[in-house]
Amino acid sequence: MWFFTEEERELKKVCSDFAQKELAPYAEEFDQKEDFNLQAFKRMGELGVLGITADPEYGGAGLGATASTIVMEEFGKACASSTLSYLAHSILCVNNIQNNASAEQKEKYLPKLITGEHIGCMGMSEPEYGSDAVGIQTKARKNGDHYLINGTKMWITNAQYSDIAYIYTRTGEERKNLSTFIVEKGTEGFSVGKPIHKMGMRASPTGELVFENAKVPMGNRVGEEGDSIYHMMKNLEIERITIAGISLGIAQACVDQCLKYSNERRQFGKSIGNYQLIQKMLAEMATETEMMRAFLYNVAKEYDQGKKGPVQAAMVKLALPKMATKIALDAIQLHGGYGYSREFPLERMMRDNKLNEIGAGTNEVMIMIIAKNLLSQQLD
Give the DSSP H or E segment for 73: helix 65-78
Q: Is 239 a catalytic residue?
A: yes
Cα(326)–Cα(334) distance, rounded to whole angstroms?
A: 12
DSSP letter, residue 117: S
Residue 151 near residue 211, CB atoms below 8 Å: yes
CA-closest candidate to residue 246, choices 83, 89, 90: 83
Q: Report the candidate in 233, 205, 216, 246 with the shortest Cα–Cα distance to residue 311.
A: 233
Rounded Cα distance between 122 and 298, Å, is 27
Closest CA to 320 of 371, 271, 260, 247: 247
Buried b (16+ CB within 10 A) or exposed e, 280-291: ebbeebbebbee
In the three-class reduction of DSSP (H, G, I as helix; E, B as strand; rest coil), residue 322 is classed as: helix
Whether residue 72 contacts residue 83, with contact meaning beta carbons closer than 8 Å, is answered with yes
* 146: CB partners within 8 A, 6+ apart: 215, 216, 217, 218
| Side chain identity at residue 241, one-letter code | I
The secondary element (H helix, E strand) that includes residue 76 is helix 65-78
Q: Kindly name the residue from 8, 126, 237, 239 that is annotated as catalytic.
A: 239
Give the number of other CB atoms < 10 A from CB of residue 205. Answer: 27
Handedness of CA 368, 353, 45, 41 (dihedral sign): positive
Active site residues: 239
